[in-house]
């Protein structure tokens, strides 16, 4: 421990209790803001806070240093009560350079903590950020915010001046100075980060030493420097007891598949073509070959879906994933799976569109594509996880439904869920519902389109089974025999049967849980990654004494059987979505309720505040 750090411990500054805080680290893409944010998340989780995160990075791989479009940021909210979202406005912003300040400062609450790395505020960086004058010299900044100018680079270099590293290597550790400082401010334990450094740089003691020293230097700086008069502490949140880990949506989807493969004893073949923000699932699965997950990086999305279908025909569970543009390409192939009545799981990690759009930003605008993005009547099951951790259960559920009903299942995740993380209570996998797959082996009376009376699913046969040789295809088939049929009435019957099979999945849906009164003035209906923002807003309104409830849909097709009834128990229905109004159209068409949408398509999660405002307006009858 360096001397400064030691000193710090001796004279602690006052600690103020806090219920929650929203912190954002922002800097250049090369400044390591994502890592900083992740470590701060881990520290907060270990400190017992509930939390939610929002990584946000440019589409460019390494945008030229100092530019506005090259700014990368990581935001999190942590608190001693339930935390649903990464937060709207910031309590604390760390700006590592002028560009980061420019892009993010408006999100800081008046009076919020603004920590800037003054070293980076040189003429070159100011120019790149388009600042004529140094904003730090503008007194209004310090008036509006609690501004702390820290010469981080110098302090960093000082802390490790004696280490045999070059300046570039030394400079690269300055994000840990920021991390140490903010950890001090919010009384976060450094141990998780110290452990991480140990593991990560096990083979390079000097780099490890440098990072440790800089981290502690930042921490000590908070304690000792005159500029910080107080720090904050948070009670641990009341969270269900258990073992926790941080979980991102993409990893949870991947692990959900691993769990499904283990429980079903059916191997999974995962066909994908890289695309942001879905690639992480492929990369995660590729590391777990021991689970008999076979990954194919296909030549394109069509091949990826096709390979998955081929695998399903072979008696494995075919899974494919992409983001919106790639899902658009898979439409025809999904139609084949619909009519071939094979299990297929499709993950759509939604991102900003249309077309290439905003590849690294989040959106919820593929619901209609999931429901209808294919030729003709080709219904599929559509599910959506509510939180990063929920992705685990949804992936598992998707495999279960796909194999039970012999039907494609689309899972709608999004960029926010994919990269965002939450403290996740590790489930006991043996408590998951079983996935019972029966491959038909009995040739007696076999036809490929016989149906299970309960699910309407047809028999799944593994090629290689003697006596069950059969042919299927994309041309319309006679129900039962599976022979090609152009008979008009058979076609009508098959169209209805495929639809009914999907409708039957409703029997899998548990009663809808209502967050709030069972009847009232307003019901807020959401789906997917907006769960946190909606829940936070509704609970705030409830705390204000309003008769507001919310319902969050995980099953979007078919819809929960009790939903129509629930909707009619409220005077008004509000549907917040990060799209132009998709679920709201489905609900209006289905239930003929005058549901209204709240729609913001900004590439970002919805703001709790905005939803609150809308709730209030609706309640006041606007």
Partner 1 sequence: MSATGTGAAEAPRYTKKDFESDQDVRWCPGCGDYAVLSAVQKSMPDLGIPRENIVFISGIGCSSRFPYYMNTYGFHTIHGRAPAIATGLRVARPDLKVFVVTGDGDGLSIGGNHMLHVLRRNVNLTILLFNNRIYGLTKGQYSPTSEQGKITKSTPMGSADRPVNPIAFALGCGATFVARTVDRHIAHMEETIKRAAAHRGTGFVEILQNCNVYNDLAWNVLYDKEQRLAHEMKLEHGKPLVFGPVDARQALIMDGVKPVVAPAKETPPDRLWIHDESNLNAAKILADLFAPDYPVPVGVFAAVSAPVYEEIVLDQEQRAIADKGVGEIAKLLKSGDTWKIE
Ligand X SMILES: Cc1ncc(C[n+]2csc(CCOP(=O)(O)OP(=O)(O)O)c2C)c(N)n1
**Residue 477: helix, strand or coil by DSSP?**
strand
Nearer to ligand X, 333 or 534 (CB): 333
Report the candidate in 248, 500, 527, 499 with the shortest Cα–Cα distance to residue 366: 527
Q: Taking a C-beta distance cutoff of 8 angstroms, is the pair 179, 189 a contact? A: no
Bridge partners, residue 477, by sequence: 484
Question: Of all helices (H) and strands (E), which one includes residue 485?
Answer: none
Q: Which DSSP symbol is given to 352?
A: B
102 is a site residue for a second copy (CB under 8 A): no
Q: Could you tell me which stretch among 78-86, 379-387, 471-479, 505-513 binds partner 1 (CB under 8 A)?
A: 471-479
Among 117, 153, 175, 295, binds partner 1 (CB under 8 A): 295
> Residue 527 and residue 542: Cα distance in Å, rounded?
20
In angstroms, what CA-CA distances link 90 with 86, 531, 585? 10, 20, 34
589 is a site residue for ligand SF4 (CB under 6 A): no
Among 7, 15, 62, 200, binds ligand SF4 (CB under 6 A): 62
> Residues 322-351 vs ligand X: string with x where CB under 6 A?
---xx--x--x-------------------
Residues 6 or more apart whose CB falls under 8 angstroms from that of 439 comprise 315, 460, 461, 462, 465
Among 291, 527, 531, 570, binds partner 1 (CB under 8 A): 291
Bridge partners, residue 115, by sequence: 94, 148
Among 61, 133, 240, 444, binds ligand SF4 (CB under 6 A): 61
Report the candidate in 20, 16, 36 with the shortest Cα–Cα distance to residue 28: 36
State in angstroms the smallest separation of the CB of 298 from ligand X. 11
275 is a site residue for ligand X (CB under 6 A): yes
Q: Taking a C-beta distance cutoff of 8 angstroms, is the pair 408, 346 a contact? A: yes
Q: Taking a C-beta distance cutoff of 8 angstroms, is the pair 607, 578 a contact? A: no
> Residue 566 and residue 138: Cα distance in Å, rounded?
55
Nearer to ligand X, 135 or 326 (CB): 326
Nearer to a second copy, 130 or 464 (CB): 130
606 binds, among ligand SF4, partner 1, ligand X, none (CB under 5 to 8 A by kind): none
Number of residues that bind partner 1 (CB under 8 A): 99
Nearer to ligand X, 98 or 271 (CB): 271
Within 591-610, which residues bind a second copy (CB under 8 A)?
592, 594, 600-604
Look up residue 57 and give its two tokens. Answer: 């990075």
436 binds, among ligand SF4, a second copy, partner 1, none (CB under 5 to 8 A by kind): none
273 is a site residue for ligand X (CB under 6 A): yes
Exposure b/e, 363-387, CB count within 10 A at least 16 = b:
bbbbbebbbebbeeebbbbbbbbbb
Within 462-501, which residues bind a second copy (CB under 8 A)?
473-476, 484, 486, 488-489, 491-492, 495-496, 498-499
Nearer to partner 1, 255 or 527 (CB): 255
Look up residue 193 and give its two tokens. Answer: 């980060």
622: exposed, middle or buried (Cβ count in 10 Å: 0-12, 13-18, 19+): exposed
CA dihedral 449, 451, 455, 457 (to 10 degrees): -20
- Residues at the site binding a second copy, with contacts judged by CB under 8 A: 58-59, 69, 302, 323-325, 327-329, 331-332, 335-336, 338-340, 350, 352-359, 361, 363, 365-366, 368-369, 371-378, 473-476, 484, 486, 488-489, 491-492, 495-496, 498-499, 579-580, 585-586, 588-590, 592, 594, 600-604
Binding site for ligand X (CB under 6 A): 273-275, 301, 325-326, 329, 332, 356
């Amino acid at each position: 421990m360096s001397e400064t750090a030691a000193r710090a411990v001796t004279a602690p500054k006052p600690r103020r209790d806090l219920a929650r805080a929203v912190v954002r680290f922002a800097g250049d893409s090369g400044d390591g803001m994502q890592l900083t944010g992740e470590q701060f998340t881990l520290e907060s989780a270990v400190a017992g806070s509930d939390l939610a995160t929002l990584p946000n990075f440019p589409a460019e791989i390494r945008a030229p240093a100092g530019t506005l479009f090259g700014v990368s940021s990581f935001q999190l909210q942590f608190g001693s009560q339930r935390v649903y979202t990464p937060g709207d406005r910031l309590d604390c912003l760390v700006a590592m350079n002028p560009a980061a300040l420019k892009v993010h400062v408006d999100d800081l609450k008046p009076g919020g903590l603004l920590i800037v790395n003054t070293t980076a505020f040189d003429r070159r960086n100011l120019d790149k950020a388009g600042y004529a004058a140094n904003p730090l010299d503008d007194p209004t900044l310090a008036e509006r915010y609690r501004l702390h100018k820290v010469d981080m680079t110098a302090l960093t270099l000082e802390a490790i001046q004696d280490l045999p590293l070059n300046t570039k290597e030394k400079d690269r550790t300055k994000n840990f100075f920021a991390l140490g400082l903010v950890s001090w401010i919010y009384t976060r334990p450094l141990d998780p980060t110290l452990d991480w450094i140990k593991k990560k740089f096990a083979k390079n003691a000097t780099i490890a030493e440098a990072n440790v020293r800089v981290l502690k230097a930042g921490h000590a700086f908070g304690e000792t420097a005159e500029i910080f008069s107080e720090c904050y502490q948070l009670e641990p949140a009341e969270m269900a007891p258990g073992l926790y880990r941080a979980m991102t949506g993409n990893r949870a989807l991947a692990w959900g598949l691993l769990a499904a493969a283990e429980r079903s004893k059916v191997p999974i073949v995962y066909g994908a073509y890289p695309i942001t923000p879905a690639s992480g699932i492929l990369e995660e699965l590729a590391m777990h070959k021991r689970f008999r997950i076979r990954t194919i990086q296909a030549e394109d999305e069509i091949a990826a879906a096709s390979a998955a279908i081929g695998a399903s025909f072979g008696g494995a569970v075919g899974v494919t994933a992409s983001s919106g543009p790639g899902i658009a390409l898979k439409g025809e192939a999904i139609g084949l799976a619909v009519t071939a009545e094979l299990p297929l799981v499709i993950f759509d990690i939604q991102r900003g569109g249309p077309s290439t759009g905003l590849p690294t930003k989040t959106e919820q605008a593929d619901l209609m594509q999931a429901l209808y993005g294919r030729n003709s009547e080709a219904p599929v099951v559509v599910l959506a996880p509510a939180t990063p951790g929920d992705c685990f259960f949804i992936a598992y559920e998707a495999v279960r439904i796909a194999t039970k009903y012999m039907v494609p299942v689309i899972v709608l995740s999004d960029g926010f869920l994919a990269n965002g993380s939450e403290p996740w209570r590790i489930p006991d996998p043996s408590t998951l519902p079983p996935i019972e797959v029966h491959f038909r082996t009995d040739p007696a009376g076999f036809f490929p389109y016989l149906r299970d009376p309960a699910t309407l699913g047809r028999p799944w046969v593994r090629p290689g089974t003697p006596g069950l040789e059969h042919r299927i295809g994309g041309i319309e088939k006679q129900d039962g025999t599976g022979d090609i049929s152009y008979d008009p009435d058979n076609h009508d019957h098959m169209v209805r049967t495929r639809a009914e099979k999907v409708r039957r999945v409703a029997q899998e849906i548990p009663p809808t849980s209502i967050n709030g009164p069972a009847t009232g003035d307003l019901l807020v209906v959401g789906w997917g990654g907006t769960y946190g923002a909606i829940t936070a807003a509704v609970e705030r309104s409830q705390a204000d004494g309003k008769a507001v409830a919310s319902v969050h849909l995980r099953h979007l097709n078919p819809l929960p059987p009790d939903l129509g009834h629930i909707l009619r128990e409220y005077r008004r229905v509000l549907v917040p979505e990060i799209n132009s109004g998709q679920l709201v159209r489905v609900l209006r068409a289905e239930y003929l309720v005058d549901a209204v949408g709240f729609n913001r398509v900004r590439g970002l999660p919805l703001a709790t505040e905005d939803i609150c405002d809308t709730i209030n307006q609706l309640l006041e009858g606007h």
